[in-house]
Amino acid sequence: MPVSLTLEEIARLAGVSRSTVSRVVNDQPNVRDQVRERVWRVIRETGYEPHAAARSLVTHRTQIIGVIIPEAVTILFTEPFFVRLLSGATEACNSNKYYLMLSLFNGPAGQEAMYSRVVRGGHLDGAIVASTPLDDPLILRLIEDGLPFVQVGRHPNEQVSYVDVDNVAAAQMAVEHLARLGHRRIGTITGRLNMSSGQDRLEGYRRALEAHRIPVDEALVIEGDFSEGSGMRGAKDLMSASATAVFAASDSMAVGALKTIRQAGLHVPQDMSLVGFDDVAVATAVEPALTTVRQPIERLASMAVEMLLSMLENPSIAQSPGRKVALPARLVVRDSCGAPR
Amino acid sequence: MPVSLTLEEIARLAGVSRSTVSRVVNDQPNVRDQVRERVWRVIRETGYEPHAAARSLVTHRTQIIGVIIPEAVTILFTEPFFVRLLSGATEACNSNKYYLMLSLFNGPAGQEAMYSRVVRGGHLDGAIVASTPLDDPLILRLIEDGLPFVQVGRHPNEQVSYVDVDNVAAAQMAVEHLARLGHRRIGTITGRLNMSSGQDRLEGYRRALEAHRIPVDEALVIEGDFSEGSGMRGAKDLMSASATAVFAASDSMAVGALKTIRQAGLHVPQDMSLVGFDDVAVATAVEPALTTVRQPIERLASMAVEMLLSMLENPSIAQSPGRKVALPARLVVRDSCGAPR
DNA sequence: TTGTAAGCGTTATCAT
DNA sequence: ATGATAACGCTTACAA
């Protein structure tokens, strides 16, 4: 419906040929300034916009990058994390004249067909993939199909480019905070261990204990899945194991833990110290406000987009082993930690 | 890069003409079953996918619908509301073989150019517009440009189609809940009054008071903007005005109010009852858990998409006055309300 | 510096 | 039922 004029018509109105208009529109050289000006005027007056499909057909580029969230991750995104990721990605796209196509593979079936249509149909110049499970076949398919992409979150495959937060260092910092307060029985509720963020935060936990010469007690390591529910369950186990502090690998789990601890009649931080991860809205909504690790989410996303765009502009680097970037996170100290009783 | 074969090549491999392959791909009649089968086999074996741009160029349809979030709204979406909206919209798109292009107009400038490129460049078959300020020029431009769209959230313009939650009824229900508990000094912290949701929830508040023959005291009506900060400020005013209960037009504001109330040394619900709106994650994260109004967000989004698609399939109805749908919301009673002292 | 013309991969119209 | 063939609106050699 909202079709603008065609190149042809602009050319006629400006009294030049199609090629000239094309050159003007694409800021190419070899057009007399006077002519260029005249053409621009017609374009402005008519509100002409080049037809995207026609252009793509010949250039083989759509100026669209996909943000792909595989099914397995989709459930995690009731959290603001995802919005902020999108916000950062959109911002980066906008300022580079790219568009963003969102593919949440959450639907029951059909995601197979969806994938195929979207990536093989030539819709996308490239993709941003949100932190997938380590064994998600999506990554391999993308490599196979030759679609340039950048993952948000570490991936062990040599070929994949990613931007990540330094989860190991961040988690270590969080746990060392507890150790320095004097805690020796520090438990952790892990994230999903089939995801790099889950694994890495656990690794950071172990390193922190090691650095403080605290032996790891496996009874204090409870596997969670980033969700509030698993935080509640995890806290129960940790109380039984007589932990005095808990490092939860997500704020949601920390909130779950907080609820359980409170239900048991204990108080945070007096009876139990608690640190989360993410620094999303709930972190400050709960009482006491959570000490937690803040991730630069928007930055992560915009860096991913920029990395992708540079790969698109320079196809040779897309071939080489992937670029890997790890951003630092910082600990935000609030009211949920104290010295052990 | 990930280009599949072309129609031409499939035709050659199957020993038929391009037209026949096209007919098969598009499930058109007039192809012998045997031939059809043979063509499908080649397609499957080769993993052929029609080139989207080539198709769009001739059909004038992209199968892409845009989700447009104007600048003014973008800041509100640190909340899960937005993710859930996207989730619902994506789901609906996927199951209808449509794609979703996300346009967050948050960038500093350039959104003007962005708009023009995206809608006039023929990228979109239609759009979903997230609840905009009532006076946002975006709506008028869309109408002008003739792009079919559906807004999530009421709009007074006759021509615009929308799906909304029945904010008036929902707010009335929430406030009547307080009235029935015996409250007479019920305050409200409104949403942004330049948005229909803000206006309508205020209207519901007034109607509830009226229904219970409680005179409206304007000192008990504090204008907020949906944000936690405005909730904190609003609560201060309402405490001075000796309210015994507060209806906040968003959970974020309710959380803000809760913090302020607590800081003042008062307790919820003993000293002050509180009800929110949205039922997002924070509502259950805080202590006490918020009594609040639950919106069917995903449903809202998927209905919007379906309405849009029906407009696309039946262009005649796109011309007539817009379709208007209001979904009911329900009150979720938790622990933040009680009888007045 | 400018214009002509071929071609991108489809769909659609018209013969056959 | 099937196949030529002309669009669709643009970019891009290649000519002038």
pLDDT digits (tens, 9 = 90+) for A47-97: 999 999 999 999 999 999 999 988 777 766 667 788 889 989 999 999 899
Q: List, for residues A220-256, the tens digit of each pLDDT value.
A: 999 999 999 999 999 999 999 999 999 999 999 999 9
Peptide bond before A340: cis, by omega within 30 degrees of 0?
Answer: no
Residues of B in contact with A122 (CB under 8 A): 2-4, 49, 51-53
Q: Do A85 and A129 belong together in one domain?
A: yes
Of all residues in chain A, the percent with pLDDT exceeding 70 is 96
Name residue B44's amino acid: R
**Is A256 part of any domain?**
yes
Chosen domain end from A58, A80, A95: A58
**Is A341 part of any domain?**
no
pLDDT at A78: 65
**Stretch B37-61: mean pLDDT, rounded?**
97
Both structure tokens of B113: 């150019």
Q: List, for residues A12-46, the tens digit of each pLDDT value.
A: 999 999 999 999 999 999 999 999 999 999 999 99
- Checking if the pLDDT of B2 tops 60, the result is no
Distance from residue A30 (CA) to nucleotide C3 (C1'), in Å?
13
Residues of B in contact with A91 (CB under 8 A): 104, 106-107
**Is B341 part of any domain?**
no
Residue in A with minimal Cα distance to B66 = A101
How far is it, in rounded angstroms, from Cα B82 to Cα B78?
8
Q: Which of B50, B84, B102 is opposite residue A100, by nearest beta carbon?
A: B102
B57 CB-to-strand D distance under 7 Å: yes
pLDDT at B165: 97
**Interface mutation target, options B55, B83, B263, chain A, most CBs of A under 10 Å:** B83
Residues of A in contact with B148 (CB under 8 A): 1
Specify which residues A66 forms β-bridges with. A101, A127
Lowest mean pLDDT among A101-110, A178-187, B148-157, B310-319: A101-110
Give A80 to chain B, closest Cα distance, Å: 6
**Is A138 part of any domain?**
yes
- Residue from A212, A282, A223, A218 nearest A248 by CA: A223
Name residue B172's amino acid: Q
Distance from residue B99 (CA) to nucleotide C16 (C1'), in Å?
39
Judged by a CB distance cut-off of 8 A, whether residue B84 touches chain A is yes
Both structure tokens of B144: 């002008």
**Stretch A285-291: mean pLDDT, rounded?**
94
Residues 6+ apart with CB under 8 A from B201: B167, B168, B170, B171, B188, B190, B191, B249, B277
Nucleotide nearest to A121 (CA to C1'): C9
| Interface touch B147/A2, C-beta < 8 Å | yes
CA angle A167, A168, A169 (to 5 degrees): 95
Q: Do B111 and B184 belong together in one domain?
A: no
Distance from residue B57 (CA) to nucleotide D3 (C1'), in Å?
22
pLDDT at A318: 65
Residues of B in contact with A123 (CB under 8 A): 52, 99
Distance from residue B8 (CA) to nucleotide C14 (C1'), in Å?
20
At A226, give phi and psi (nearest 5°): 80, -15
How far is it, in rounded angstroms, from Cα A253 to Cα A222?
11
> Which long-range CB contacts under 8 A does B94-97 form with residues at least 24 apart?
B94/A104, B94/A107, B94/A110, B94/A111, B94/A114, B95/A107, B95/A110, B96/B305, B96/B306, B96/B309, B97/A117, B97/B63
Q: Do B141 and B97 belong together in one domain?
A: yes
Overall domain count for chain A: 3
Q: Do B223 and B304 belong together in one domain?
A: no
DSSP three-state, residue B336: coil
pLDDT at A235: 98
Residues of A in contact with B79 (CB under 8 A): 80, 83, 281
Q: Do B89 and B145 belong together in one domain?
A: yes
Give B159 to chain A, closest Cα distance, Å: 16
Peptide bond before B340: cis, by omega within 30 degrees of 0?
Answer: no
For residue A14, give the CATH number of its domain: 1.10.260.40
In this structure, the strands spanning B186-189 and B221-222 are parallel
pLDDT at B113: 83
- Checking if the pLDDT of B10 tops 90, the result is yes
Q: Do B208 and B289 belong together in one domain?
A: yes
Q: Do B171 and B160 belong together in one domain?
A: no
In this structure, the strands spanning A330-332 and A291-294 are antiparallel
Side-chain half-sphere of A46: how many Cα atoms within 13 Å?
Answer: 21
- Residue from B148, B155, B100 nearest B301 by CA: B100
- Residue from A85, A340, A268, A251 nearest B282 by CA: A251
Residue in B with minimal Cα distance to A124 = B2
pLDDT at A168: 98
Which residue's entry shows tokens 């602009």? A10
**CB < 7 A contacts with chain C (nucleic strand):** A 15-20, 23, 29-32, 34-36, 54, 57-58; B 3-8, 18-19, 22, 25-26, 48, 50-51, 54-55, 57-59
Judged by a CB distance cut-off of 8 A, whether residue B97 touches chain A is yes
pLDDT at A106: 74
How far is it, in rounded angstroms, from Cα A24 to Cα A58?
17
- Residue from B146, B167, B172, B144 nearest B155 by CA: B167
How far is it, in rounded angstroms, from Cα B56 to Cα B45?
25
With beta carbons less than 8 A apart as the criterion, state whether A116 and B98 touch. Answer: no
User: Rg for chain A (alpha carbons), in Å?
Assistant: 25
Residues of B in contact with A110 (CB under 8 A): 94-95
With beta carbons less than 8 A apart as the criterion, state whether B258 and B282 touch. Answer: no
How far is it, in rounded angstroms, from Cα B103 to Cα B124?
11
Q: Do B119 and B224 belong together in one domain?
A: no
- Checking if the pLDDT of A322 tops 60, the result is yes
Q: Do B125 and B189 belong together in one domain?
A: no
Judged by a CB distance cut-off of 8 A, whether residue B114 touches chain A is yes
pLDDT at A104: 87
Q: Do A160 and A302 belong together in one domain?
A: yes
How far is it, in rounded angstroms, from Cα A326 to Cα A329?
9
How far is it, in rounded angstroms, from Cα B198 to Cα B60?
39
Domain that holds residue B268: 167-295
Residues 6+ apart with CB under 8 A from B7: B18, B21, B22, B25, B50
Q: Give chain A as a 3 state SS string.
A: CCCCCCHHHHHHHHCCCHHHHHHHHCCCCCCCHHHHHHHHHHHHHHCCCCCHHHHHHHHCCCCEEEEEECHHHHHHHHCHHHHHHHHHHHHHHHCCCCEEEEEECCCCCCHHHHHHHHHHCCCCCEEEEECCECCCHHHHHHHHHCCCEEEECCCCCCCCEEEEECHHHHHHHHHHHHHHCCCCCEEEECCCCCEHHHHHHHHHHHHHHHHCCCCCCHHHEECCCCCHHHHHHHHHHHHHCCCCEEEECCHHHHHHHHHHHHHCCCCCCCCCEEEEEECCCHHHHCCCCCEEEECCHHHHHHHHHHHHHHHHHCHHHHHCCCCEEEECCEEECCCCCCCCC
Both structure tokens of B165: 């939650």
- Checking if the pLDDT of A325 tops 80, the result is yes
**Interface mutation target, options B4, B98, B102, chain A, most CBs of A under 10 Å:** B102
**Is B71 part of any domain?**
yes
At B276, give phi and psi (nearest 5°): -105, -165
Q: What's the DSSP call for residue B116?
A: I
Nucleotides of D under 7 A from a protein CB: 1-5, 7-13
For residue A208, give the CATH number of its domain: 3.40.50.2300
Under 8 Å CB pairs connecting chains A and B tally to 188
Q: List, for residues B285-325, the tens digit of each pLDDT value.
A: 999 999 999 999 999 999 999 999 999 998 777 667 899 99
With beta carbons less than 8 A apart as the criterion, state whether A222 and A251 touch. Answer: no
Q: Do A88 and A140 belong together in one domain?
A: yes
**Is A340 part of any domain?**
no
**Residue A129 — very low, low, confident or very high, per pLDDT cuts 50/70/90?**
very high
| Interface touch A121/B49, C-beta < 8 Å | yes
Task: State CA B145 to chain mean position distance.
Answer: 22
With beta carbons less than 8 A apart as the criterion, state whether A227 and A252 touch. Answer: yes
Specify which residues B129 forms β-bridges with. B68, B151
Q: List, for residues A259-270, the tens digit of each pLDDT value.
A: 999 999 999 999
Residues of B in contact with A101 (CB under 8 A): 64, 99-102
**Is A255 part of any domain?**
yes
- Checking if the pLDDT of A204 tops 90, the result is yes
Q: List, for residues B206-246, the tens digit of each pLDDT value.
A: 999 999 999 999 999 999 999 999 999 999 999 999 999 99
- Checking if the pLDDT of B77 tops 90, the result is no
Positions of E strands within chain B: 64-69, 99-104, 126-130, 149-152, 161-165, 186-189, 221-222, 245-248, 273-278, 291-294, 324-327, 330-332
A51-to-A2, A60, B42, B54, B63 alpha-carbon distances in Å: 11, 14, 32, 12, 15
Q: Do B77 and B179 belong together in one domain?
A: no
In this structure, the strands spanning B330-332 and B291-294 are antiparallel
Global pTM value: 0.93
Average model confidence (pLDDT) across chain A? 93
**Is B205 part of any domain?**
yes
